[in-house]
Chains A and B, each alone.
Chain A
């Protein structure tokens, strides 16, 4: 029994290390001089420790601008997707109208349309609007998402009907029912969906690549690509510094919002 437990733990630790290694590798090498990085690549302790890669990074690319672009794109997309999903889910759950089920299935079926199918029409439309090479060009086709509608509709369907009826009997308006009851009850689902949307938009590569041309309007994943290809391709410690920044920001946001996520699993007190 006991030995089994140790073996089990050992296996888990090995897997964790395997999963963590690339991250530790990036963090470690971002604090090494380029020469040291080449001579002792696998040694995880930087010796000597240096911040020169982070300083050089800012000379190579407009780092602040790029980070800001990425942040604007990810947050605006997330905010819009959440607002549109919430309103659509509310209507689809609580309003009665003709072809409601058909509307829902039509919306949900868009989840299964591959990105590559809409890519070209979207590109043509955005160029009509003259938004190529602007963060708004990246954002515009991503203001709504059927996955969000699906997630929030499911969450709302789980709210016991009598709860809404109790509010209706007491003369609470539909808007206030939405604001005072439905919103707080589905907040955990909103938070997890929002995190998911944010990460997707933050890491998105293909669509921003099509939209954005100048470095001034680049996002972090596009900037990373710069270091993998031609320019500065040899300077991989700078690339590692950029990698660290790219993953650190969502991680920090996650830590800030963590308590809401935990709530998702512990707030089953509805009954």
Chain B
């Protein structure tokens, strides 16, 4: 079993608690992504799993082994660092085989593993080069190669693609998937890039201020955010959030109202409560006719190529609506796709979908 169990993990530096009571079960061979804004504790969690950072309390299990207090080198995990951390004084080849040699892997085995990984990552040509003579993308691949040849069950990656340009990132993502397909390690991947998270993750752990906000598939994280934070953090442009009150099966916002009686999370009990209503820009439509849910003023438009984002002001707040083409009108009606409307509790920020359970 190559699962990872994090039990009641806490981490503080002095008075500052960076990770609060974290519980998570990472499945065998799964690609799990830690996603969150800068400083939310993603690296800290990864480093605690790797044994580079001691936990303040709680337990870490790798498979059947409890490793909470085991030194890093005894945990048998492989890690790729953000700045690659290649050994600057060793050739590509030696960077990759060094630890194998020190750990007593025999020469033929070493060479086999080296050749295989060099081939997979198209590094054959660079085996005698020093790291300083490589491009960013090549260094990144060497770092991947070095972690891969260990054949460890656990593969930890801390923003390994963040130093690459957009195009290389796409290629590198494919390489990662290729490696995973071949070796089936349990991937723990840290990033603040949601596109990367969506593309690579079997499941995504959304973090904020050291606390898990949601753990689910990319699909659910996007379409069924557990709370306001996830709703706003995922998606670009982010989900529109309107603050109003529910009365008579309608969401009252400013001096307008939207019929929400057929929104799936709506229940009679919500009548009379103040809530947040959330909907993604692509789940709304600019209505030319009189058939609309809400009306507003177009302030400006941004052309994204495939679609145009219209920023619209309604009762003092701005929302973004996607539309295939520029609608050149001041006053405009907007139609909501009710299937994709979310209602959030105003106090806790929790999506009512998840409150019923």
Residues of A participating in the B interface, judged by any CB pair closer than 8 Å: 160, 162-163, 165-173, 176, 180-181, 184-185, 267, 269-271
Contact = CB atoms under 8 A, between A and B. Distances in A.
Contacts of A167: 87, 99
Contacts of A185: 88-89
A170 B52 contact: no
A162 B89 contact: no
Given A171-B72, A269-B132, A270-B132, 19 more contacts: A160-B85, A162-B81, A162-B82, A165-B50, A165-B72, A166-B85, A168-B52, A169-B50, A169-B51, A169-B72, A169-B79, A170-B73, A170-B99, A170-B102, A173-B73, A180-B98, A184-B89, A185-B89, A269-B131
B102 A176 contact: yes
30 contacts: A160-B83, A160-B85, A162-B81, A162-B82, A162-B83, A162-B85, A163-B85, A163-B86, A163-B87, A165-B72, A165-B81, A165-B85, A166-B79, A166-B81, A166-B85, A166-B146, A168-B71, A168-B73, A169-B72, A169-B75, A170-B102, A171-B73, A171-B99, A171-B102, A171-B103, A172-B73, A173-B73, A269-B130, A269-B132, A269-B133
Nearest to A172: B102
B150 interface: yes
A169 B130 contact: no
Contacts of B98: 170, 180
Contacts of A170: 73, 78, 98-99, 102-103, 150
A185 to B, nearest CB: 6
Contacts of B89: 181, 184-185
A176 B101 CA distance: 12
Nearest 7 Cβ contacts at the A-B interface: A269-B132, A171-B73, A170-B99, A162-B85, A270-B88, A184-B89, A162-B81
Contacts of A162: 81-83, 85
B77 interface: yes
Interface in B156-209: none
A160 B88 CA distance: 10
Contacts of B71: 168
A181 B98 CA distance: 11
Nearest to A174: B73
Interface in B213-232: none
Nearest to A187: B89
User: Chain A at the B interface: mostly helix, strand, loop or mixed?
Assistant: helix
A165 B88 CA distance: 14
A173 B72 CA distance: 11
Contacts of B77: 169
A172 to B, nearest CB: 6
B154 to A, nearest CB: 10
B74 interface: yes
Nearest to A165: B52
Interface size class of B (residues with CB under 8 A): 20 to 34
A178 to B, nearest CB: 13
Contacts of B82: 162
A271 B88 contact: yes
Nearest to A183: B89
Interface of B: 50-52, 71-75, 77-79, 81-83, 85-89, 98-99, 102-103, 130-133, 146, 150
B54 to A, nearest CB: 11
Nearest to B95: A166
A146 to B, nearest CB: 27
Contacts of B74: 171
Max chain B C-beta neighbours (<10 A), residue from A162, A173, A176, A184: A162
Contacts of B99: 167, 170-172
A181 B83 contact: no
Contacts of A165: 50, 52, 72, 79, 81, 85
Given A162-B81, A269-B132, A169 B87 contact: no
Contacts of B130: 269
B192 to A, nearest CB: 18
Max chain A C-beta neighbours (<10 A), residue from B52, B83, B130: B52
Contacts of A163: 85-88
Contacts of B132: 269-271
B148 to A, nearest CB: 12
A184 B73 CA distance: 22
A160 to B, nearest CB: 6
Contacts of B83: 160, 162, 271
B69 to A, nearest CB: 15
A202 B50 CA distance: 50
Max chain A C-beta neighbours (<10 A), residue from B74, B88, B98: B88
A207 to B, nearest CB: 37
A160 B85 CA distance: 8
Contacts of A267: 88
Contacts of B133: 269
A176 B103 CA distance: 11
A57 B146 CA distance: 62
Nearest to B77: A169
Contacts of A180: 98, 102
